[in-house]
């Protein structure tokens, strides 16, 4: 792939350029660092670790907000039209008089909540935590770099995200409330929503959604450029491509997805914004009738164009949501089964193949638009192809467990739950890939269940695992094991009580985005396990609220442990990758001595060693070398 692959990990390499942490400049720069005040150090920092933590905290707050919106919606789904007790009468003070008059939810408010739940969860929650927070904090440490290649750009990325998030939140408080067109913002509906008399051209939910998005896309773009350059340029001596931890690979591919898939959506967003503010009609056909009156626009636009551009991002985006979680799972799995990750090379190539293929499957979200059978056949084929590498990854993970002496600590519990949960999510996606089956399942709760199995007990569990795993690196302290388990078990159970019945509801025909939760569907009379599709809403909602409570131990554990957690050494999990050679928490510039890598990322339980883990920076001694010659599988 690159000259470095064949480069021997011997000193001499890189001697001509600057080396990491050069000593000749040390004095001059030291005094610069000491001058940093509180604001530069913790708020407007350019240190990748601080930025990572900023992203992480903001992202987790957004995740909780997005989840709270859903907890409110779940009331309306379980008990349609009834007043929400306790908090119901307070919500109008926050969201405006038209949100929940007398504690009863209006349809418009339901739509806003749904659209913003999706938007916040994906773009303000998971992407910032999975990609930006973990990527920023962990990647430079894992590759032995002092920081990102462009620290200022990195800070700019965070602030663009913060502005975008603020704009999205503000949109709840403008007349008409936040965007209502779903996270997909399909045209022509969202083109004409909240427009006209009584609405400001710019300060309305949908327009602010679009403007907020431009900031979020800018943020991802700056982040992606930085990540890729950092991984290419700042790998430690001897850290060749095939010695990179799997997590770094997953972030590398994720960065490419963000880099190349977001801009077409940005193009579409600019066009929708033009439609809404400059009276163009990119997405509006001629002759539309709105509220009984013809719409005065030039026409000549195409609603389908939006769908194509949206899903050109939308599909790669789902891999943006899952690949970082794969990376985290891989690290923790190898660490806690005390075995090398099984099939490292297959994993890397699978991730790369997923990266390429994810750009040619987007129209599988559009079977219902009547694209014609040729186009459908093409996208159906590519969609089935892309499932192959995903299956390889999941299988390799399962095989990695085989014969390991597994330690079930909290990160590992989340990871072991991730595997079957992701499996359910992935396998239930296959019927959606066949356009004939999807014609029936499209836009039902079956789809909601399918993708939530991937993003909620899948990605979110991966993220929790990562938080518990790297917390000691960021703080030098452990999170409580006991409260971690109190967090894990109820979350796992609730997740399944929430999402498993949704498959059945969907197959009974319950449509997503229904304000009354399919109340009318009770009349259809079909029952599953004694309950009609609609009646299942009640247990689901209760499980969602209990799951909300189950996050309290996590929140307390997290903040409490920062100050009071058990103090641990620099490598409490006895892991092998380079981040564990840095002090905890790592200082500005990260490493005390610049690390050099001599071996692959997962050398657990090497034969003939007293420790069951061998860190990447431990030199290969001659006896090991000769042993390795005999065992080519381990070499490289």
List, in sequence order, every residue forming a beta bridge with 14; answer none if it has no partner: 12
315 binds, among Cu ion, ligand HEM, another protein, none (CB under 5 to 8 A by kind): Cu ion
Stretch that binds ligand HEM, among 110-118, 138-146, 554-562, 611-619 (CB under 6 A): 110-118
Residues in region 299-338 near Cu ion by CB under 5 A: 315
CB of 448 to ligand HEM, least distance (A): 5
x/- track of binding to ligand HEM for residues 263-302 (CB under 6 A): ----------------------------------------
CA 36 to chain centre: 32
Task: State CA 450 to chain mean position distance.
Answer: 16
Cβ within 8 Å of residue 335, ≥6 positions away: 469, 573, 574, 575, 576, 604
Tokens of 557: 């554990």
Contact 225, 259 (CB under 8 A): yes
| Segment interacting with ligand HEM (CB under 6 A) among 178-186, 377-385, 468-476, 582-590 | 178-186
List the structure tokens of 525: 């009379």
Q: In 16-47, which ranges are continuous DSSP H helix? A: 26-34, 38
> Among 338, 471, 498, 329, which Cα is nearest to 413's?
329
CB 498 within 8 A of CB 424: no
| DSSP single-letter state for residue 599 | S
Which positions from 53 through 72 interact with ligand HEM, judged by CB under 6 A? Answer: 67, 70
Q: Distance between CA 597 and CA 327 in Å, rounded? A: 20
Contact at 8 Å (CB) between 21 and 594?
yes
Residue 495, phi then psi, degrees to nearest 5:
-50, -45
User: Do 168 and 500 meet the contact criterion of CB atoms below 8 Å apart?
Assistant: no
- Which residue of 49, 117, 364, 473 would you call a contact of ligand HEM, by CB under 6 A? 117
- Is residue 296 a contact point for another protein (CB under 8 A)? yes
Decide if residue 229 touches another protein (CB under 8 A): yes
By CB under 6 A, tell whether 120 contacts ligand HEM. Answer: no
Applying CB under 8 A, among 232, 375, 486, 500 the residue interacting with another protein is 232
Beta bridge partners of 532: 527
Strand partners, 11: 13
Least distance (Å) from another protein to the CB of residue 405? 38
* Contact pick of 122, 124, 160, 295 for ligand HEM (by CB under 6 A): 122
Check binding of 452 to ligand HEM (CB under 6 A): yes
118 binds ligand HEM (CB under 6 A): yes
Residue 225 binds what, of Cu ion, another protein, ligand HEM, none (CB under 5 to 8 Å, by partner type)?
Answer: another protein
Which 126-165 positions form the footprint of another protein (CB under 8 A)? Answer: 146-151, 153
Q: Which is nearer to Cu ion, 380 or 576 (CB)?
A: 380
Give the residue carrying structure tokens 């003939």.
Answer: 608
Q: Tell me the closest approach of the beta carbon of residue 115 to ligand HEM, in angstroms.
A: 5
In the complex with another protein, which residue's Cβ is closer, 257 or 393? 257
User: Which residues neighbour 332 within 8 Å (Cβ) at sequence distance 6 or greater?
Assistant: 411, 412, 415, 465, 466, 469
Which of another protein, Cu ion, ligand HEM, none does 122 bind, CB closer than 5 to 8 A by kind? ligand HEM
The residues that touch Cu ion, with contacts defined as CB under 5 A, are 315
The residues that touch ligand HEM, with contacts defined as CB under 6 A, are 67, 70, 114-115, 117-118, 121-122, 126, 182-184, 321, 448, 452, 455-456, 460, 498, 512-513, 544
């Amino acid at each position: 792939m690159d000259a470095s692959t064949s480069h021997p990990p011997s000193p001499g390499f890189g001697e001509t350029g600057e080396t990491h942490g050069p000593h000749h400049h040390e004095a001059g720069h030291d005094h610069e660092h000491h001058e940093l005040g509180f604001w530069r150090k913790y708020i407007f920092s350019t240190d990748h670790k601080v930025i990572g933590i900023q992203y992480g905290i903001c992202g987790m707050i957004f995740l909780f907000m997005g989840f709270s919106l859903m907890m409110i919606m779940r009331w309306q789904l379980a008990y349609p039209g009834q007043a929400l007790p306790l908090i119901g009468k307070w919500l109008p003070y926050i969201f405006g008089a038209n949100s929940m008059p007398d504690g009863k939810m209006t349809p418009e408010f339901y739509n806003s909540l749904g659209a913003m739940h999706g938007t916040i969860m994906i773009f303000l929650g998971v992407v910032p935590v999975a990609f930006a927070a973990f990527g920023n904090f962990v990647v430079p440490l894992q590759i032995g770099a002092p920081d990102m290649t462009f620290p200022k750009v990195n800070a700019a990325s965070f602030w663009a995200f913060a502005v975008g998030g603020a704009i999205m939140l503000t949109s709840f408080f403008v007349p008409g409330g936040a965007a209502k067109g779903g996270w997909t913002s399909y045209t022509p509906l969202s083109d004409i929503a909240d427009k006209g008399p009584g609405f400001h051209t710019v300060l309305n939910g949908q327009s602010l959604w679009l403007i907020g998005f431009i900031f979020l896309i800018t943020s991802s773009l700056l982040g992606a450029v930085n990540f890729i350059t950092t991984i290419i340029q700042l790998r430690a001596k001897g850290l060749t491509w095939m010695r990179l931890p799997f997590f770094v690979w997953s972030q590398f591919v994720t960065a490419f997805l963000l880099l190349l898939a977001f801009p077409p959506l940005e193009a579409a967003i600019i066009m929708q914004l033009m439609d809404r503010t400059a009276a163009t009609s990119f997405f509006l056909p001629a002759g539309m009738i709105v509220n009984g009156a013809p719409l005065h626009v030039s026409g000549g636009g195409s609603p389908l164009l939006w769908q194509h551009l949206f899903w050109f991002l939308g599909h790669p985006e789902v891999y943006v949501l899952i690949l970082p979680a794969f990376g985290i799972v891989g690290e923790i799995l190898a660490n806690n089964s005390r075995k090398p990750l099984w099939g490292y090379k297959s994993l890397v190539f699978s991730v790369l193949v997923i990266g390429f293929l994810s750009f040619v499957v987007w129209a599988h979200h559009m079977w219902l638009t009547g694209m014609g059978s040729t186009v459908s056949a093409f996208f159906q084929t590519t969609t089935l192809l892309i499932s192959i590498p995903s299956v390889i990854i999941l299988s390799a993970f399962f095989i990695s467990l085989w014969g390991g002496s597994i330690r079930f600590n909290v990160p590992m519990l989340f990871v072991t739950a991730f595997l079957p949960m992701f499996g359910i999510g992935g396998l239930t996606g296959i019927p959606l890939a066949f356009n004939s089956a999807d014609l029936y399942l499209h836009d039902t709760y079956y789809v909601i269940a399918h993708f939530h199995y991937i993003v909620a007990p899948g990605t979110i569990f991966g993220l929790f695992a990562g938080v518990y795993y790297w917390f000691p690196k960021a703080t030098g302290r452990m999170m409580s094991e006991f409260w971690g388990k109190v967090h894990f078990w109820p979350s796992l159970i609730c997740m399944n009580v929430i999402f498993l019945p949704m498959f059945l509801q969907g197959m009974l025909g319950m449509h997503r985005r229904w304000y009354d939760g399919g109340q009318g569907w009770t009349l259809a009379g079909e029952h599953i396990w004694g309950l009609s599709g609609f009646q299942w809403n009640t247990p689901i909602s209760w499980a969602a609220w209990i799951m909300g409570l189950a996050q309290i131990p996590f929140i307390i554990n997290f903040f409490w442990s920062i100050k009071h957690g058990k103090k641990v050494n620099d490598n409490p999990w006895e892991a092998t990758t380079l981040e564990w050679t840095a002090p905890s928490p790592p200082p500005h510039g990260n490493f005390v001595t610049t690390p050099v890598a001599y071996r692959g990322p997962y050398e657990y339980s090497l034969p003939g060693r007293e420790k069951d883990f061998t860190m990447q920076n431990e030199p290969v001694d001659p006896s090991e070398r000769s042993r390795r010659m005999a065992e080519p599988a381990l070499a490289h």
